[in-house]
Amino acid sequence: MTNTIIPEFQLDEKTHPGNVALKVNNLQKMIAFYTQIIGLKLLQQETQQAVLGADSTPLLYLFQINGQRAAQQRTGLYHTAFLLPTRKDLGNALIRYVSTNAPLSGAADHIYSEALYLTDPEGNGIEVYHDKPRSEWIIKEDGEIPSDTLEMDVEGVLKAADQKWTGFPDNTMVGHIHLSVSDVNQTQDFYTKILGLSLKFNFGEAAKFLATGGYHHHIGANVWLSRNDAPLAQNETGLKYFSFYVPDSAELDRIAEHLTSLSIEFKQADNGQITFIDPSGIQGRFEIQPS
């Protein structure tokens, strides 16, 4: 059975996740965690918000709110996945996390990647991973890229490290965003038939992996904790929005024309940025890739 779905309208293959914004209770504590433990750098800070990234590229926005963690699971963020350039970098990160007693919750080999999993102080999931060479991926003729959860070769990852940890290296990016959604089929339809991503791997009624171009996934969506649940309220901490970076203003215009033709509600700012809401009440954005 063919699992992949390639929509008629497709996003430019250079489109990829850009950044993630979180609503937080304790801004200083979260800044300290993401910089001192995880590996991001503080790029900018104001009274109630901060921008973190690798080199000068913003990857994570933190917004202080006077709120509370959701009393029950809501739709929103499952984890933010930070993609490191090499296996050496993952080894350095693993050594750092073990030596600082970071809240590691798991490690896995997904066939196309090796990944570490953590949770931040306010319950937001984090994945830190590197991609294996594409020659090692399983890519089927129809474009499907199967995944699995296997035991990670921890010894091999540690041997790859050079033990020169200075935080995340240049060229680290948000590789993918994994969402907790209320219904995976509605999510699949929205992100493929409306937004123009392709289904890359199908976990049936539990989860879907979608991407632009030939990547294994830029968006993951599952109902493991959130089936039929409601979105976060304004005063609840968690995901505020996530963004896709597109190559230029022409692509923003093309997306806007497409959404208009389908009568899909969205907002477009003066700078061209497009804001949309998916079927689970999750806010996403399209914006131009920073130079």
**CATH number of the domain that residue 121 is part of:** 3.10.180.10
Flag whether 41 is in a domain. Answer: yes
Whole-angstrom distance between the N-terminal and C-terminal Cα of the chain? 42
How many beta carbons lie within 10 A of that of residue 143, not counting itself? Answer: 16
89 part of a folded domain: yes
CA distances in angstroms from 151 to 111, 135, 206, 272, listed in the order given: 10, 20, 21, 44
Q: Is 210 within the bounds of a domain? A: yes
Domain of residue 232, residue span: 16-288
Question: Is 8 contained in some domain?
Answer: no
- Strands 125-131 and 113-119 come out as antiparallel
Q: Is 163 left (phi over 0), alpha (psi -120 to 50) or beta?
A: left
Predicted local distance difference test score (pLDDT) of residue 1: 36
Q: What pLDDT tens digit does each residue of the chain (291 aa) get?
A: 345 666 789 999 999 999 999 999 999 999 999 999 999 999 999 999 999 999 899 999 999 998 877 656 789 999 999 999 999 999 999 999 999 999 999 999 999 999 999 999 999 999 999 999 999 999 999 999 999 999 999 999 999 999 999 999 999 999 999 999 999 999 999 999 999 999 999 998 999 999 999 999 999 999 988 777 788 888 899 999 999 999 999 999 999 999 999 999 999 999 999 999 999 999 999 999 987
pLDDT tens digits, 103-161:
999 999 999 999 999 999 999 999 999 999 999 999 999 999 999 999 999 999 999 99
Question: Distance between CA 4 and CA 65 in Å, rounded?
Answer: 40
On whether residue 2 sits in a domain, the answer given is no
User: Is 1 a member of any domain?
Assistant: no
List alpha helices for the chain, DSSP H.
27-32, 87-99, 154-160, 184-189, 249-261
Residue 201 falls within a domain, yes or no? yes
Determine the pLDDT at residue 210: 97
In a domain, 4, yes or no: no
What pLDDT digit, counting tens, does each position of 152-185 carry?
A: 999 999 999 999 999 999 999 999 999 999 999 9
Per the structure, how many domains does the chain have? 1
So what's the pLDDT on residue 234? 84
Q: How would you label 2-35 residue by residue, b for 16+ Cβ within 10 Å and e otherwise?
A: ebbbebeeebbeebbbbbbbbbbeebeebbebbb
